[in-house]
Amino acid sequence: MKTTIQFITSVICSISIISCKSQSVDLVAEGAELIQISNEYSFTEGPASDKNGNVFFTDQPNDKIIKWNESDNSLSIFKEPAGRANGLYFDQNENLLAAADNENELWRINANGKVDTLITNFEGKKLNGPNDLWVDLHGGIYFTDPYYQRPYWDRTAAELEEKNVYYISPDLKNITIAATDFVQPNGIIGTPDGKTLYVADIGDQKTYSYSIQNNGTLTNRTLFTDMGSDGMTIDNKGNIYLTGEGVTVFNSKGHKIQHIPINEEWTANVTFGGKNQDILFITAMGSVYTLKMNVHGVRYTE
C-alpha cells in the first residue's frame, strides 16, 4: 500500500460494470466487463489465490483478511484481527503468508487461521514494514520492506536505514538482504521458472528485473520500465501487470502493451484467480473487481 489512508476517498455506493470491449490487445476476453464485486471496504490490498482459485485479500485499515469464493462469487471474513496484513501469498503447503504490518512481522497462517510468526527483525532491528512477497520454487520467501509511517505505530522513525528486499531461506532459518538501492520497494513477482524476479520501486517510479541464482541471491539488476507499482502479477505469456493508475501491462521486454482503466483514485494490487486462473482480481481503494481474461496466471496452471 503506497500510503495508509490518504488515498481513501468516498466509497461508490452502487455496483458498477465497466466495458472493456474497446481494448486493443486481446489479453482481455472478448466482451468481458470489469465487475465491481464489492465497495464496502476502506483500502483493499494483497490479493492471493489458493489452488482452488479462491482469492484472499486484505482490508488493512479495518484489520481484516477477506476470502472471495470463486464458485459462488461470495465474500467472507477469513481472519480478524489480521495483524494489519498488507501483501499476501500462498506457500507450497497452502499456508497463507502475510506481511503483517502491525508489528512489522511476516506471518504464516494455516487453513484454520492459526498464526506462526516467521520473522520479527533483521540483525536485531525492527523491520520497516514488510509490504509484499513472493515464494520461489524452493520455498524461499522474498519480501519488500519499505517504510510508510502508520498511525497505529508507536514509533515515528525506521530502525533500519535502508529499504531493502530480503530473502528468507527455504528452511526459514536465515534472512539475508537480496537487493538494495531503493527509495521505496513495493510490488514484487517472480517468473514461474524461478529464474527472474521483478521488483517495483514505487518511490523512484522504476521497476527492475533480477536473475535468481540457485542459492536465492539476485544478480543482473536491469531496469525493466520507468514505472513503479504498488502490486504486481504475471501471466502465462510472461506479461507483467503493474498497478497505480488502473492496471498497466508490459510484455517481457518492458514494452507497454495494454492499460486497463479502473474508476478509482488508486489501484493497489492485482492477481489471477478462478478455477482456471483466468480471472484478473483487482484491489482498488475500497473496492474489489474481477475481469475475465484470455491469458491466465502461472501459479497453479501449466
Place 84 in a pLDDT band, splitting at 50, 70 and 90. very high
- Please, is 24 exposed, middle or buried when counting C-beta atoms within 10 Å of its C-beta (0-12, 13-18, 19+)? exposed
pLDDT higher than 70, residue 23: no
Q: What is the mean pLDDT of residues 260-272?
A: 98
What does the pLDDT read at residue 301? Answer: 79
- pLDDT for 203 beyond 70: yes
Identify whether the C-beta of residue 164 lies closer than 8 Å to the C-beta of residue 179. yes
Q: Could you tell me the domains of the chain?
A: 17-292 (2.120.10.30)
- 221 bridge partner residues: none
The share of the chain scoring above pLDDT 70, in percent, equals: 91
Q: Specify the pLDDT at position 302.
A: 63
For residues 226 and 242, the answer to whether their CB atoms sit within 8 Å is no
Q: What percent of the chain has pLDDT over 90?
A: 91
pLDDT tens, position by position, 275-294? 999 999 999 999 999 999 99
Q: What is the pLDDT of residues 93-148, one digit of tens each?
A: 999 999 999 999 999 999 999 999 999 999 999 999 999 999 999 999 999 999 99
In three-state secondary structure terms, 62 is helix
Q: Is 7 a residue whose pLDDT tops 50? A: no
Q: Which is higher by pLDDT, 7 or 110? A: 110
Instruction: Report the DSSP pairing between strands 96-100 and 105-109.
Output: antiparallel
Query: Distances from the Cα of 43 to the Cαs of 4, 89, 100, 206, in angstroms?
Result: 8, 18, 15, 24
Section 188-201 average pLDDT: 98
Overall pTM > 0.85 = yes
Residue 25 pLDDT: 59
180: amino acid identity, one letter: T
Backbone angles phi, psi at 254, to 5 degrees: 85, 15
